[in-house]
């Protein structure tokens, strides 16, 4: 996944709309996010995970208290590209949250949308919060937990990835590099080959059974 553009408004420390064009800062392929404590460095990563999965790990319940205290709504929009099977496609995932009247710290999703951009044409893939999250997981190949362990790597939590069991770590790497799909195809190919071999064995056994009487007759003559 290659980040292209991030828009943040009303989320945590960002009251006013902020736009980050990753193409402008990643010419060398590497860039850093620097600033004093409380300047919003972590909020940039939170905005990306909120856009993709509809929740933030460090927020209670995933969304509790995420809207800036001076705002009634929060909006995030994240544009990214995926290269899969030699084809590069851009996607925009955007979400808007609104504070609940009786509980200012709580909020509810008002807009959730996943858009595919292909040859300059936009196509809405989903416009329901849960469906957007599921589709993003399908596209990227990572669940929210995988994304937090392998991509965002929050402070002091890298050990979670290191302490995963061999099976869990293997499954996560399979999802990251789309190896699940190749494994499934290989299993299907092996299954077909095994079926062909079993059919051939059954055929040969059937043909051999037709010669049993002749073999027994020859044994009697001998």
> What's the CA gap between 128 and 93, in Å, rounded?
11
Judge if 130 and 28 occupy the same domain: yes
Last residue of a domain, one of 81, 110, 140: 140
What would the mean pLDDT of 32-52 be, rounded to a whole number? 88
In a domain, 30, yes or no: yes
Q: Which of 66, 53, 69, 62 is nearest to 8 (CA)?
A: 66
Alpha carbon 172 to its chain centroid, in Å, reads: 10
Cα four-point dihedral sign 185, 187, 188, 189:
positive
Looking at residue 195, its pLDDT comes to 86
In a domain, 96, yes or no: yes
Band of residue 214 on the pLDDT scale cut at 50, 70, 90: low
Band of residue 118 on the pLDDT scale cut at 50, 70, 90: confident
Last residue of a domain, one of 77, 109, 140: 140
Residues 141-185 have pLDDT tens digits of: 888 888 887 777 655 555 566 666 777 767 666 665 556 666 667
What would the mean pLDDT of 213-219 be, rounded to a whole number? 58
Query: Cβ of 111: how many Cβ atoms within 10 Å?
Result: 13
Q: Which of 144, 25, 18, 131 is nearest to 76 (CA)?
A: 18
Residues 73-113 have pLDDT tens digits of: 999 999 999 987 678 899 999 999 999 988 878 999 999 99
User: Residues 6 or more apart from 25 whose CB is under 8 A from it?
Assistant: 31
Looking at residue 202, its pLDDT comes to 80
In a domain, 178, yes or no: no
Average pLDDT taken over every residue of the chain: 83
Judge if 128 and 191 occupy the same domain: no
Q: In this structure, what token pair is assigned to residue 93?
A: 């995932």
Going through the chain in order, the beta strands assigned E by DSSP cover 2-9, 18-21, 73-84, 87-100, 103-118, 121-126
Judge if 130 and 191 occupy the same domain: no
By three-state DSSP, how is residue 161 classified? helix
In a domain, 166, yes or no: no
Judge if 6 and 62 occupy the same domain: yes
Tally the domains of the chain: 2
> What's the CA gap between 52 and 100, in Å, rounded?
22
In a domain, 151, yes or no: no
Last residue of a domain, one of 107, 122, 140: 140
> What's the CA gap between 119 and 89, in Å, rounded?
9
Judge if 192 and 116 occupy the same domain: no
Give percent of the chain with pLDDT exceeding 90.
Answer: 41
Give percent of the chain with pLDDT exceeding 70.
Answer: 81
Looking at residue 48, its pLDDT comes to 95
Give residue 19's domain range: 2-140
Helix (H) or strand (E) holding 184: helix 179-209
What would the mean pLDDT of 31-40 be, rounded to a whole number? 81
């Amino acid at each position: 996944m290659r980040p292209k553009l991030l828009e943040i408004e009303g989320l945590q420390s960002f009251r006013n709309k902020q736009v980050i064009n990753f193409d402008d800062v990643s010419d060398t392929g590497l860039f850093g996010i620097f600033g004093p404590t409380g300047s919003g460095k972590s909020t940039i990563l939170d905005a990306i995970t909120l856009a993709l999965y509809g929740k933030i790990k460090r927020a209670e319940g995933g969304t509790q208290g995420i809207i800036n205290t001076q705002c009634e709504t929060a909006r995030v929009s994240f544009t990214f590209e995926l290269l899969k099977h030699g084809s590069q496609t851009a996607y925009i995932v955007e979400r808007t949250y609104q504070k609940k009247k009786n509980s200012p710290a709580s909020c509810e999703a008002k807009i959730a949308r996943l858009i595919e951009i292909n040859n300059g044409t936009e196509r809405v893939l989903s416009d329901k919060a849960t469906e957007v999250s599921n589709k993003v997981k399908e596209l990227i190949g990572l669940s929210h937990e995988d994304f937090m362990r392998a991509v965002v790597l929050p402070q002091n939590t890298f050990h979670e990835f290191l302490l995963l069991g061999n099976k869990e770590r293997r499954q996560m790497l399979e999802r990251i590099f789309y190896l699940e799909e190749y494994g499934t195809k290989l299993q299907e190919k092996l299954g077909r080959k095994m079926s062909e071999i079993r059919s051939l064995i059954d055929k040969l056994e059937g043909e051999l059974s037709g010669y049993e009487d002749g073999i027994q007759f020859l044994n009697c003559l001998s």
